[in-house]
């Protein structure tokens, strides 16, 4: 691929001068503009459409909406604002919008209806508005959820999992498996020997059973007997019944540290005579320790992947879809 740097070296000009000339800027002479454009054509230079759209937006030249500066986010949650009503997914959505804005891109949200009843109307609207880059939001947190029906006519997609929902599309997910192993490693280094895992049962499928798999591997490597200290799956993340089940599980298994996605375990712990140490997935305030799942990197990577897919102009059902897992990082409590 011929770049502006190649043209600059060919003509003995700066890269900035070539960039200005190709944009028709009056900051360079007419003779230079003509010479640069002729050389670029002769060398077979093709501008990057996504980069051009971003430059135009930042310089005030790209106020007209194009397929490069407007994306869509589709979801089939029970209500139109369902994604925003979830504490976690509202944070997730905010990160996605922020990453897009940094690239000069807006993301418009479309509800296909809880049962897909708005599906055809949504895709007609997207075609009419020349929006081809589409994100598919994670499915709602309800039983027996169905994947969205996808129209693969001249659209490009990036999804956020679970991976098996859209096996032919690119997927960005948090690295559930390695995040648990990281939490286990830190707790083990700190001397905890009876580490447990607690999560809501709807999260098993959403994580591809990765937490459970990593947990059993770590137990095996630590010498824990098979069939003991089994992970605790809860029907509810806030009920008294779940609190009672958690406290009973901690005491019967003599758990000294817990890795969990359930925030209330910290409150439930306070009622125990010997509370377990807690490491939370997706820590969100200074008093917590555990895994920062890295929402900003997830969002930035998703934007980048969709732009790449658009540049390749592939249809929805790609032959070799990407599976990108975003690593988390350990965060200590702030003293």
Instruction: With cut-offs at 50, 70 and 90, classify the pLDDT of residue 54.
Output: low
The answer to whether 291 touches 142, Cβ cutoff 8 Å, is no
pTM higher than the cut 0.85: no
Closest C-alpha to 131, from 114, 109, 112: 109
**β-pair type (290-292, 329-331):** antiparallel
Q: Is the pLDDT of residue 7 over 60?
A: yes
Q: What is the mean pLDDT of the chain?
A: 90
Q: Is the pLDDT of residue 209 over 60?
A: yes
The residue among 315 and 58 whose pLDDT is bigger is 58
Helix (H, G, I), strand (E, B) or coil at 193: coil
The percentage of the chain sitting over the pLDDT mark of 90, rounded to a whole number, equals 66
pLDDT, tens only, 272-324: 999 999 999 999 889 999 999 999 999 999 999 999 888 876 544 556 889 99
pLDDT, tens only, 19-47: 888 888 777 888 898 899 999 988 888 77
CA-based Rg of the chain, rounded to a whole angstrom?
25
Most distant CA pair in the chain: distance in Å? Answer: 83
Helix (H, G, I), strand (E, B) or coil at 221: helix
Helices (H), the chain: 4-11, 15-22, 30-43, 49-58, 87-102, 119-128, 176-189, 203-206, 210-221, 240-253, 265-269, 295-312
Residue 62, pLDDT score: 47
What is the mean predicted confidence (pLDDT) over 130-158? Answer: 87
- Locate 6 and state its tokens: 């190649």
Residue 316, pLDDT score: 46
pLDDT, tens only, 221-271: 999 998 999 999 999 999 999 999 999 999 999 999 999 999 999 999 999
Separation CA 3–CA 334 (nearest Å):
47
Residue 143 Cα to chain centre, angstroms: 22
Q: List all residues 6 or more positions away from 269 whose beta carbon is below 8 Å from its beta carbon.
A: 250, 258, 275, 276, 278
Instruction: With cut-offs at 50, 70 and 90, classify the pLDDT of residue 106.
Output: very high
Name, of 86-95, 100-109, 296-305, the range with top average pLDDT. Answer: 296-305
Residue 109 Cα to chain centre, angstroms: 16
Burial of 24 from C-beta contacts in 10 A (0-12 / 13-18 / 19+): exposed
- Locate 144 and state its tokens: 């027996």
Q: List all residues 6 or more positions away from 258 whose beta carbon is below 8 Å from its beta carbon.
A: 195, 196, 197, 198, 250, 265, 269, 276, 277, 278, 279
Give φ, ψ of 20 to 5 degrees. Answer: -65, -40
Separation CA 328–CA 293 (nearest Å):
4
């Amino acid at each position: 691929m011929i770049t502006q740097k190649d043209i600059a070296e060919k003509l003995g000009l700066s890269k900035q001068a070539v960039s200005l000339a190709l944009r028709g800027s009056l900051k360079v002479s007419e003779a230079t503009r003509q010479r640069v454009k002729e050389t670029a054509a002769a060398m077979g230079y093709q501008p990057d459409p996504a980069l051009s759209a971003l430059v135009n937006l930042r310089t005030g030249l790209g106020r007209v909406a194009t397929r490069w500066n407007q994306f869509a986010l589709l979801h089939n949650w029970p209500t139109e604002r369902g994604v925003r009503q979830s504490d976690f997914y509202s944070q997730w959505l905010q990160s996605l919008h922020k990453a897009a804005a940094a690239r000069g891109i807006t993301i418009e949200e479309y509800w296909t209806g809880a049962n897909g009843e708005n599906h055809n109307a949504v895709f007609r609207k997207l075609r009419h508005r020349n929006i081809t880059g589409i994100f598919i939001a994670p499915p709602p947190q309800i039983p027996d959820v169905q994947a969205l029906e996808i129209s693969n006519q001249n659209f490009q997609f990036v999804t956020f999992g679970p991976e098996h929902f859209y096996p032919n599309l690119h997927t960005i997910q948090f690295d559930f498996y390695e995040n648990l192993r990281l939490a286990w490693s830190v707790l083990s280094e700190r001397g905890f020997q009876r580490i447990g895992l607690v999560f809501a049962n709807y999260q098993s499928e959403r994580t591809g059973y990765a937490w459970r798999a990593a947990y059993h591997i770590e137990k095996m490597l630590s010498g824990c007997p098979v069939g003991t200290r089994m992970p605790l799956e809860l029907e509810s993340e806030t009920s008294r019944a779940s609190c009672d089940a958690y406290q009973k599980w901690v005491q019967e298994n003599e758990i000294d540290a817990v890795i969990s996605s359930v925030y209330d375990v910290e409150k439930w712990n306070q009622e125990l005579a010997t509370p377990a140490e807690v490491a939370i997935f997706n820590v969100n305030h200074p008093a917590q320790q555990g895994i920062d799942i890295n929402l900003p990197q997830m969002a930035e990577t998703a934007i980048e992947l969709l732009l790449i897919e658009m540049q390749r102009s592939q249809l929805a059902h790609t032959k070799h879809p990407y599976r990108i897992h975003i690593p988390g990082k350990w965060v200590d409590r702030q003293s």
